[in-house]
Amino acid sequence: MLLSIKSLNVYHGYVQALRNLDLDVKKGELLAILGANGAGKSTLLETLAGLHRPAQGEVMLEGKPITGKSPDYIVKHGISLVPERREIFNSLSVLDNLLLGAFHRYRSNKGTLSDDVAEIIDIFPALKGREREPAGTLSGGLQQMLAIGRGLMARPKILLLDEPSVGLAPMVVKEIMSTLAQLKNSGVTIILVEQNTGAALKVADRGFVMERGHITLGGTSQDILSDSKVQQAYLGRKRMQTAAAL
Amino acid sequence: MAFINKNHFWPGIILFLLIIPLITNSNYLLSILIIIGLYTIIVQGLGILMGYAGQISFGHAAFFGLGAYTVAILTTRFHSPTVLALLGAALLPGVIAALIGRPTLKLQELYLALATLGFGLLVHIGFTEGMELTGGPSGIAGIPYLSVGSFVFDSDIKFFYLVAGILILLSAGIKGLIESRVGRALRAIRESEHAAETAGIDTAALKLQAFIFSALLAGLAGGLYAYYITFISPSPFSFHASVQFVLMAVVGGLGTFVGPLLGAAMVVALGEFLRWAIPVVIPNAGGEYQIIFFGLILVVLMIFQPEGLGALGKRLKPATQKLPGEGYSTKIEAEKEGGL
């Protein structure tokens, strides 16, 4: 097991955001975490990235505990978060943003960093030629690609993505999702938090539905897609089915 | 500023500053320039702390004073070589900053401001009350001139060039720092601390380093100050001075390259100007009038140029050349040649 989460409990002040959450992630998987606002999806990713310290529970990466470690330790050991709302560095150039993703290995890998940047530009060709522009001048879709690129520059074993589709045109969402599928095929394990259930399950191997801090439903993407509750609550299929039955 | 050739601008300014002592024989002007130079050293460090690490220190006068007293005590009591004492003047505040910063910088927001505020007041009381070591309110006199080998910095002109040289080296060093891997991380913290953390930057460690660096510079300036005035007492190292340093950093413009120099020059020159001008305009006016006008002018300045004097150049440039919030150009050319 690449990542194993056991009975994780996380609080925001007095509010419990994660309740006894268990999750196992295999190498090379693409997981989709679904659920309504406030279900604890972002908290889960941020806890894995070291931004929240769990009250109880354990997170093991390749059999070693990383529970409660600092964000820089966790990035160094192979988990990289692409945060909600992208949070790129607007006034810094696209190139600087990418290089910051490789902050922890900048000294040791200095010679190969330009190759790594070229590789990211290959994955997101739309960024080509804009390396020197301030990242804040990019469109929303390009900013999201840059945020993913910055995450990849850390050379993570696991890439965490928090709602990459927010505020983007359907075409761009499609492009980003197919890029995620490519990344998965190249061996990166991905945990994807999404409100866009349909788009996420199309590329995911497995899906999990979170409600009030824990996972209430889990299975292959096919299982989740055909679950009647998911169809009702997240895909809005009920009316369509009723219409078909008539 | 678009009409000035960028390549000639900085060398021109530096050259102009360097020939000032040759065209004036006013010791008053030189002494003001030297004091501006010493404050600029402090504000350069403070600017990194405030402009990039996003922290405020209200205790930098204490580091400035610790540097000055280190030099005074080491040279007058222990007859230590002057260069060695200057080294001590920078190191001691650095070590103390590490001790204060380690517990406080892990916390958010204003904890460092509060800790340094208390620390500054304590140190000032220490200077005033520590009779045996610090000479109490009357201070320490008879500090020797700084000497390197057989060369003694015993005149204003020599000291002017010493401070100018240190400033040029320091500015080049800071420019290099901001364009380096660490500087890129500092700029990222300025932009979004949260995102910087997720990119794997140890923000607490970087802030601590910025704080230590700023204290080192304040101590260095303090040591130089002691060698220049050759007499020190507690009064230039009070809380009021700490606030002035913060003021200089803000007026000059945070995160800009020339901000510290412009801020220090503005605050010092404005103070001197008002001391001369107020009695001329309002006869029989007391010192409080100077403070009122000083405050007014700075308020007006901050209303019309909130980014500080250092950002004026950017405002004058055509809009197409402007990078939002960018004080420094990125190091792309160098990175292109050197393989990043």
Dihedral in degrees, nearest 10, Cα atoms B212, B218, B220, B224:
180
In a domain, B1, yes or no: no
Question: pLDDT tens digits for A193-228?
Answer: 998 888 999 999 999 999 999 999 998 998 888 888
CATH number for the domain harbouring residue B131: 1.10.3470
- E strands, A14-113, in order: 15-25, 30-35, 56-61, 64-65, 79-82
The token pair at A30 is: 């693409």
Q: Which residues of A touch B199 (CB under 8 A)?
A: 75, 100-101, 103, 150, 154
Domain boundary among A155, A171, A203: A155
Task: Please check whether residue A152 is in contact with residue A118, taking contact to mean a CB–CB distance below 8 angstroms.
Answer: no
Which range has the top average pLDDT, A176-190, B21-35, B188-202?
A176-190
The model's confidence at residue A244, banded by pLDDT at 50, 70 and 90, is low
Half-sphere exposure for A128 (CA within 13 Å, toward CB):
8
Most B-contacting residue of A93, A153, A159 (CB-CB within 10 A), to test interface: A93
Sign, Cα dihedral of B274, B280, B281, B285 = positive
Where residue B80 falls (left for φ over 0; alpha for ψ -120 to 50; beta otherwise) is beta
Average pLDDT, chain B: 85
The per-residue pLDDT for range A40-95, each reduced to its tens digit, is 999 999 999 999 999 999 999 999 999 999 999 999 999 999 998 888 999 899 99
Closest in B192, B201, B332 to A95, CB measured: B332
Q: Is the pLDDT of residue B115 over 50?
A: yes
Contact flag B195-A111 (C-beta cutoff 8 Å): no
B contact test, residue of A47, A75, A96, A137 with most B CBs within 10 A: A96
Query: Is A65 in the same domain as A138?
Result: no
- Read off the pLDDT of residues B13-69 as tens digits, 9 standing for 90 and up: 778 878 888 887 788 889 999 999 999 999 999 999 998 888 889 999 999 999 999
Q: Which two tokens stand for residue B330?
A: 């990125």
Q: Is the pLDDT of residue A33 over 90?
A: yes
- Confidence band (pLDDT; 50, 70, 90) for B319? very low
- pLDDT score of A172 more than 50: yes
For helices B111-129 and B239-252, give the axis angle rounded to 10 degrees.
Answer: 140
Mean pLDDT over A146-163 rounds to 95
Mean pLDDT of B57-84: 95
Q: Give the tokens for residue B143.
A: 């500090």
CB contact under 8 A, B339 and A49: no
**Minimum CA–CA partner of A116 in chain B:** B340
A136/B201 touch (CB, cutoff 8 Å), yes or no: no
- Site from B105, B108, B198 to mutate, A interface, most A CB atoms within 10 angstroms: B198
Which chain B residue's Cα is nearest to A76? B200
Q: Give chain B positions within 8 Å (CB) of A136.
A: 324
- The pLDDT tens digits of the residues spanning B253-272 come to 888 888 999 999 999 999 88
Confidence bin at B117 (pLDDT 50/70/90): very high
When CB atoms are compared, the residue of B184, B194, B323 closest to A99 is: B184
Tell whether A228 is covered by a domain.
Answer: no
Q: Does residue A102 share a domain with residue A203?
A: no
Tell me the pLDDT of chain A averaged across its residues: 90
Query: pLDDT exceeding 70 applies to what percent of chain B?
Result: 89
Write the CA distances from A152 to A24, A82, A110, integer angstroms.
Answer: 22, 9, 16
Query: What is the band of A237 on the pLDDT scale with cuts at 50, 70, 90?
Result: low
Nearest CA in chain B to A101: B199
What integer pLDDT is reported at residue B337 of this predicted model? 39
pLDDT value at A159 more than 70: yes
* C-alpha span between B60 and B64 (Å, rounded): 6
Whether residue A58 sits in one domain with residue A105: no
Provide CB contacts within 8 A for B159, sequence distance 6+: B34, B153, B227, B228
Residues on chain B touching A49 (C-beta within 8 angstroms): 198
**Chain A residues near residue B206 by CB distance under 8 angstroms:** none
Of A100, A114, A134, Cβ closest to residue B199: A100
Same domain (yes/no): A211, A108 = no
Chain B residues bordering chain A (beta-carbon distance below 8 Å): 181, 184-185, 187-188, 191-192, 194-202, 323-326, 330, 332, 335, 339-340
Whose CA is closest to B72, among B4, B126, B144, B17?
Answer: B144
- Is B61 or A231 the better-scoring residue by pLDDT? B61
| Inside any domain, residue A197 | yes
> Tell me, what DSSP letter sits at residue B146?
P
Query: Of A105, A126, A155, at which residue does a domain stop?
Result: A155
Residue B315 has pLDDT above 70, yes or no: no
Structural domain count of chain A: 2
Residues contacting B27, CB < 8 A, separation 6+: B156
What sign does the CA torsion over A219, A222, A223, A224 have? Answer: positive
Q: Could you tell me if A13 lies within 8 Å of chain B, comparing CB atoms?
A: no
Q: What is the pLDDT of residues B219-230, one digit of tens each?
A: 999 999 999 999
**Checking phi first, is residue A20 left (phi over 0); if not, alpha (psi -120 to 50) or beta?**
left
Model pLDDT, residue B5? 59
Lowest average pLDDT, out of A58-67, B106-115, B158-167, goes to: B106-115
The pLDDT assigned to A242 comes to 53
Domain that holds residue B151: 6-337
Q: Give the integer Cα–Cα distance in Å for B215 and B90.
A: 8
Inter-chain residue contact A91 with B323, CB threshold 8 Å: yes
pTM of structure: 0.83
A215: β partners = A210
A148 pLDDT above the threshold of 90: yes
Higher pLDDT, residue A160 or B338: A160
Of A83, A96, A132, the CB nearest to B195: A83
Q: Is residue B249 part of a domain?
A: yes
Which whole-number Å values give the CA distances from B66 to B13, B216, B226, B227, B232, in the listed order?
32, 10, 11, 14, 11
pLDDT at B4 over 60: no
Q: Among B196, B202, B340, whose Cβ lies nearest the Cβ of A113?
A: B340
Query: Does A212 reach chain B within 8 Å, measured CB to CB?
Result: no
The reply to whether A116 and A163 lie within a common domain is: no
Q: Which residues in chain B have Cβ-Cβ distances shorter than 8 Å to A159?
A: none
Q: What is the CATH number of the domain that holds A29?
A: 3.40.50.300
pLDDT above 60: residue B334: no
Question: Tokens in use for A44?
Answer: 């889960």
Asked if residue A1 and residue A73 are part of one domain, the reply reads yes
- Lowest mean pLDDT, pick from A5-14, A103-112, A194-203, B111-120: A103-112
Is B200 close to A83, i.e. CB distance below 8 A? Answer: no
Domain residues for A130?
A: 88-155
Q: Do A72 and B181 touch (CB under 8 A)?
A: no
A91 touches chain B (CB under 8 A): yes
Q: Which of A105, A132, A155 is at the close of a domain? A: A155
Q: Is the pLDDT of residue B109 over 70?
A: no
Residues 6+ apart with CB under 8 A from B126: B134
Whether B199 sits inside 8 A of A136 (CB atoms) is: no
CB within 8 Å: B185 and A134: no
d(CA B326, CA B54): 16
DSSP-assigned states of every residue in B71-130: HHHHHHHS---HHHHHHHHHHHHHHHHHHHHHHHTTS-TTHHHHHHHHHHHHHHHHHHH-
- Domain membership of residue A238 (yes or no) is no
Total number of domains in chain B: 1
pLDDT at B91 over 70: yes
Distance in Å, alpha carbon of B265 to nearest chain A alpha carbon: 28
Same domain, A142 and A92: yes
Give Cβ neighbours of residue B101 (< 8 Å, ≥ 6 apart): B112, B207, B208, B211, B212
Same domain? For A9 and A99 the reply is: no
Statement to judge: residues A149 and A162 lie in one domain? no
A119 interface with B at CB cutoff 8 Å? no
**Looking at the predicted complex, does its ipTM rise above 0.85?**
no
> Does B132 map to a domain?
yes
**Min distance B46 CA to chain A CA atoms (Å):** 22
Point out the least confidently predicted range of A188-197, B18-27, B70-79, B164-173. B18-27
- DSSP letter assigned to residue A154: T
Instruction: Pick the residue from chain A with its C-alpha nearest to B330.
Output: A93
Q: What's the pLDDT score for residue B169?
A: 93
The highest-confidence range among B5-9, B128-132, B309-313, by mean pLDDT, is B128-132
A150 touches chain B (CB under 8 A): yes
CA–CA distance, A161 with A176 (Å, rounded to integer):
11
- Look at residue B279 and tell me whether its pLDDT is greater than 90: no
Q: How confident is the model at residue B288 (pLDDT cuts 50, 70, 90)?
A: confident
Residue B160 belongs to a domain: yes
In a domain, A242, yes or no: no
Q: Cβ distance A152 to A159 under 8 Å? A: yes
CA distance B220 to B89: 6
pLDDT at res. B78: 93
Contacts of B72 (CB under 8 A, 6+ apart): B139, B140, B143, B226, B232
